[in-house]
């Protein structure tokens, strides 16, 4: 009798533990975070060999307008982008050769600046403006060697608000001025997204944020697509 009672207790314990384990496993599965869907801006582009190849280089602002630009240029160009946030010029210098790869580019539309001018904890810019000048010159020289037509996009405005990390629009203006001088000296086409966005920045940009609403990214994409089409239509050497 004692043996049968003991066996019954053991069986009950095993059943309870199995059930509890299943319950915990289900709870863990339920609590497991969902994997974020991949950003379509980073989707691999299958080239149509009959169309020119375009490369977008830039930070999160350019990530925002990438898919809109692709749609606008569907049937006109193969629009690729670097597979990440371009960050500051120091990041560009480290990764540009890898981003350019071995393929031929017809147009490279690029921007650096928003990360360079951010204010760090020590109160200094991530990349001081004189170093930004030097870095950007080096990046332009490297891209010119590809034979692609180059388009520089000016850095878009930042709001007069408390931002994290801190940025000031006066710095955007100053860094854009340095970049414009470099582009003028090198004959690089300028896509002035700063001036295009500024008149309607309050409606295009997220509140107290450097990023843009969906309609803001679509607006920028239209300017990007127009500049790319105009540049593709330019005779070689211009």
pTM for the whole structure: 0.84
Alpha-carbon span 26 to 32, nearest angstrom: 10
Range of the domain at 166: 51-232
Alpha-carbon span 167 to 114, nearest angstrom: 8
SS3 for 93? helix
> What is the predicted pLDDT for the residue at 89?
98
User: What is Dmax (Cα atoms) for the chain?
Assistant: 100
Look up the CATH number of the domain holding residue 154. 3.40.50.1110
Query: pLDDT truncated to tens, each residue of the chain (238 aa)?
Result: 444 444 444 444 434 433 444 444 444 445 566 777 889 999 999 999 999 999 999 999 999 999 999 999 999 999 999 999 999 999 999 999 999 999 999 999 999 999 999 999 999 999 999 999 999 999 999 999 999 999 999 999 998 878 888 899 999 999 999 999 999 999 999 999 999 999 999 999 999 999 999 999 999 999 999 999 999 998 875 5
> What is the predicted pLDDT for the residue at 29?
46
Q: Is residue 227 part of a domain?
A: yes
Q: Is residue 44 part of a domain?
A: no
> What is the predicted pLDDT for the residue at 164?
80
Q: Is residue 15 part of a domain?
A: no
Q: Is residue 40 part of a domain?
A: no
Q: In what order do the strands lie in the sheet with 107-110?
A: 78-81, 53-57, 107-110, 149-153, 189-191
> What is the predicted pLDDT for the residue at 37?
81
Q: Is residue 219 part of a domain?
A: yes
Name the domain count of the chain.
1
Q: Is residue 35 part of a domain?
A: no
Q: Is residue 55 part of a domain?
A: yes
> What is the predicted pLDDT for the residue at 7?
46
**Contact status, residue 216 vs residue 178, Cβ threshold 8 Å:** no
> What is the predicted pLDDT for the residue at 142?
98
Q: Is residue 46 part of a domain?
A: no
SS3 for 138? helix
> What is the predicted pLDDT for the residue at 162?
80
């Amino acid at each position: 009798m004692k043996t049968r009672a003991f066996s019954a207790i053991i069986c009950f314990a095993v059943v309870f533990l199995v059930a509890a384990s299943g319950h915990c496993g289900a709870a863990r599965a339920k609590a497991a975070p969902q994997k974020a869907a991949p950003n379509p801006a980073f989707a691999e582009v299958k080239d149509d060999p009959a169309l020119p190849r375009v490369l977008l280089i830039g930070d999160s602002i350019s990530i925002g307008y990438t898919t809109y630009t692709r749609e606008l240029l569907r049937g006109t160009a193969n629009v690729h982008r670097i597979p990440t946030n371009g960050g500051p010029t120091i990041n560009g210098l480290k990764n540009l050769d890898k981003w350019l790869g071995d393929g031929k580019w017809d147009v490279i539309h690029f921007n650096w600046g928003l990360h360079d001018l951010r204010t760090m904890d020590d109160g200094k810019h991530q990349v001081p403006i004189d170093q930004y000048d030097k870095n950007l010159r080096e990046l332009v020289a490297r891209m010119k060697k590809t034979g692609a037509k180059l388009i520089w996009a000016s850095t878009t405005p930042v709001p007069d608000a408390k931002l994290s990390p801190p940025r000031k629009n006066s710095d955007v203006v100053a860094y854009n001025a340095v970049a414009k001088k470099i582009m003028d000296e090198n004959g690089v086409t300028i896509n002035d997204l700063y001036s295009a966005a500024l008149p309607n920045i309050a409606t295009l940009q997220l509140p107290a944020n450097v990023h843009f609403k969906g309609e803001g990214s679509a607006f920028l994409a239209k300017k990007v697509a127009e500049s790319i089409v105009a540049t593709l239509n330019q005779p070689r050497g211009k």
